[in-house]
């Protein structure tokens, strides 16, 4: 559906020139490409390391079985380390594509992953970190060298996981509160920035009315 000719947003862009540095500051977002490329390269390196670990672990398992020296505990720990490496690669990958989608151009990939805002990116990273911590504890549990140290390690991880879950829940509540006050501000800003190439934001009367009504409630 096309905008009307007397749309306040159109009048703002057409009749009100941008400030001298608004376009320069808006275009400065492309510096994030340096971080995106760096993080994605780290993700690729970790994926390759995980692949090498997987092939090495499978080969060692086959050799151990053929020699009759099969030790399930040792092999399980090695395979859990592979899973941990892959999960760390996933963290870097999510950060890379998330930063690209937030600062450069929106992607269907991040939308399908549920990463459309910075809060979403934080939420996904925290979720994967919790899984990594769980896998790390499972490695120590399977090894079971020092039961007391394993218990202490599990208690320390439990405190960290509790803090991460608390942060995740607080972040989710803050996001819901923001969406309740301004449900379409983010989508409108993304459309103007990425599709219409407008770096400077226009404060319309509709937005001011929405803020007044939200404050009144």
pLDDT in tens, 119-170: 888 888 998 999 999 998 888 888 777 788 888 888 999 999 999 888 878 7
Q: Is residue 105 helix, strand or coil?
A: coil
pTM above the 0.85 mark? no
The residue among 77, 74, 58 whose CA lies nearest residue 138 is 77
The C-alpha atoms of residue 189 and residue 133 are separated, in whole angstroms, by: 37
Q: How far apart are the first and last CA of the chain?
A: 31
């Amino acid at each position: 559906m096309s905008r009307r000719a007397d749309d306040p947003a159109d009048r703002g862009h057409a009749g009100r020139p941008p400030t001298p540095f608004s376009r320069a500051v808006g275009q400065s977002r492309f510096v994030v490409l340096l971080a995106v490329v760096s993080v994605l390269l780290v993700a690729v390196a970790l994926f390759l390391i995980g692949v090498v670990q997987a092939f090495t672990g499978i080969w060692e398992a086959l050799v151990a079985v053929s020699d009759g020296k099969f030790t399930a505990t040792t092999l399980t720990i090695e395979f859990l380390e592979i899973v941990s490496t892959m999960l760390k690669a996933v963290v870097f990958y999510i950060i890379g594509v998330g930063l690209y989608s937030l600062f450069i151009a929106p992607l269907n990939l991040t939308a399908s992953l549920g990463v459309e805002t910075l809060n979403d990116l934080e939420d996904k990273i925290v979720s994967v970190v919790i899984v990594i911590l769980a896998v790390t504890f499972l490695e120590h549990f399977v090894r079971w060298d020092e039961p007391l140290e394993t218990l202490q390690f599990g208690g320390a991880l439990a405190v960290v996981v509790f803090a991460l879950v608390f942060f995740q829940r607080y972040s989710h509540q803050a996001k819901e509160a923001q969406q309740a006050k301004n449900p379409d501000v983010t989508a409108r800003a993304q459309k103007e920035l990425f599709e219409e190439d407008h770096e400077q934001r226009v404060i319309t009367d509709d937005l001011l009315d929405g803020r007044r009504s939200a404050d009144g409630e």
